[in-house]
Structure 1
Amino acid sequence: MSAQQSQGIQTLLDAEKAAAKIVQEARQYRVQKLKDARTEASKEIEEYKKAKEAEFKKFEASHAGTTSEAQAAVDKETEVKLEAITHSYDSHKDEVVQKLLDRVTQVKPELHRNLKRAQS
């Protein structure tokens, strides 16, 4: 019986070693799957990032032209307004100078309104 018991114990020990080996392989398999998943996720993230950067650059390029067109329109409008102001200045400057000279040189001596009340 002792040979049979020792053979049963040996069988159990062999079974335990085989189970430990299977558990170890399962753990290694799980670790490898996690590494593979991380690698694949990193690749997907990188691809997504590249796609979004390309989309942003395309958007930026399409709107950069709009910005320069808007700047050109503002510059043209400013030029037109400056020309209108310059034209207005040139056409009215002699008249304004003449009005100023007339006001300065045509003096009507009058008593101040407070002085007029004091004399009444």
Structure 2
Amino acid sequence: MPKVIFLPHETLCPEGMVVDAAAGDNLLEVALEAGIEIEHACDGSCACTTCHCIIREGGDSLNETTDQEDDMLDKAWGLEVDSRLSCQCQIADEDLVVEIPKYTINHAREENH
């Protein structure tokens, strides 16, 4: 059973967190079920970048990005080579180390996080 290791995030999980997942699980759903309130303004439909995360380890085991995800990622704050939209990540059988960026661009909110 793969583990998802969320690195510490100032407000969402200050101590970091390790969560068990199953192959086939969606990364955003795993985070939300663990109480890590990653923003997801489009409800996981790949229409925004609020669930942007950076896969620090294990990214090669995830499903490939789609053209739609790649297009959306171009708009993400703090984009890195290992950036993904967590709503589009299907976990495989390898452990993941995930960093949630400090900020997100969410035009539906008054303040950006």
Normalised TM-score (structure 2): 0.14
* Greater RCO structure (CA 8 Å; 6+ sep): 2
Structure possessing the higher radius of gyration over alpha carbons: 1
Which has more strand, going by share of residues? Answer: 2
Which has more helix, going by share of residues? Answer: 1
Normalised TM-score (structure 1): 0.13
